[in-house]
Amino acid sequence: MSLLGSAWFLLLSPLNFSGADLSQQIPPPRFPLSEAPPATLNSAPASSVALGDLVIVFDETTLAEAQKQIKLGRIDNRGDASESSFWLCYSISGSGSQEQIWLLSHGGGDDHVIDGVAARISSTPVTANSCPELPAAFQPVRLNNKIWLRSPATEIRKQFGKPSLQRGAWLHYESERELLNDPRAKDWGADKLYEIGELSVRIRAGKVIELWATVLVSD
């Protein structure tokens, strides 16, 4: 099975914008790896993210559905056709810092199904037009595994054990499982489909300051 050239290619593709674009929208940060680490988990380390009581299920909830519930935000995009990336950006302001959150959708199709989330702590605030403040009703934000920004690294290791890969300040956890009898296999002309789960966290002073969590489907 080749991960690069399909779902992982989209995740690893750089998101570079011109200065004019940056004045209008805040793209997600670049994914910290250039290739997928070997999978060491049997199930995805994160399968959803909760914004208050709103649960965003990866590989199920669409960007339009999330936008409709939150009643705020603009769906932005980069790239064309199968190499396109779409997202919603939101901010949570705090004392001296700001959380920036991206709901992510990669690949073609009109539904723009959310396949993950990226988030980071930033000392540089962004404008409401580029990444609006997430309403209080949709806070706090947490992955279904309870991990989020400012979570202690010890809690992550307690849940998932040794990382699939550790590089610098980043811990990466990777999962892979076959999706048996998934109807999309026929639609895609594939013999088998696999679910690739990923959780990557950047640690500073023992706590998470940036994270990625995705569930991607590949042949």
- Assigned domain for 2 exists: no
Domain with 82, as residue range(s), is 7-218
- Does any domain span residue 181? yes
The span from the CA of 210 to the CA of 170, in Å, is 9
Task: Flag whether 1 is in a domain.
Answer: no
Strands (E) located in 52-193: 54-57, 76-78, 85-93, 98-106, 116-122, 141-143, 165-167, 170-178
pLDDT of residue 81: 58
The answer to whether residue 94 is domain-embedded is yes
Residue 83 lies in a domain: yes
**Where are the alpha helices (H) located in 122-205, listed in sequence order?**
153-160, 184-188
Distance CA 158, CA 76 (A): 36
**What global pTM score does this model have?**
0.85
- 50 Cβ neighbours under 8 A, 6+ residues apart: 56, 141, 142, 143, 144
CA geometry: angle 44, 132, 59, nearest 5 deg:
25
Within a 10 A sphere around the Cβ of 47, how many other Cβ atoms?
17
| Tens digit of pLDDT at every position of the chain (219 positions) | 433 334 444 454 444 333 334 445 688 988 888 888 999 999 999 999 999 999 999 999 999 999 999 999 999 988 765 667 899 999 999 777 899 999 999 865 678 999 999 999 998 877 777 899 999 999 999 999 999 999 999 999 999 999 999 999 999 999 999 888 877 877 777 888 889 999 999 999 999 999 999 999 887
CB atoms within 10 A of CB 4: 14
Query: Given this model, what pLDDT does residue 22 score?
Result: 41
User: Is 190 within the bounds of a domain?
Assistant: yes
- pLDDT for position 24: 57
Query: In total, how many domains does the chain have?
Result: 1
| Residue tagged 């990557």 (tokens) | 200
Sign for the CA dihedral angle at 213, 215, 216, 219 comes to: positive
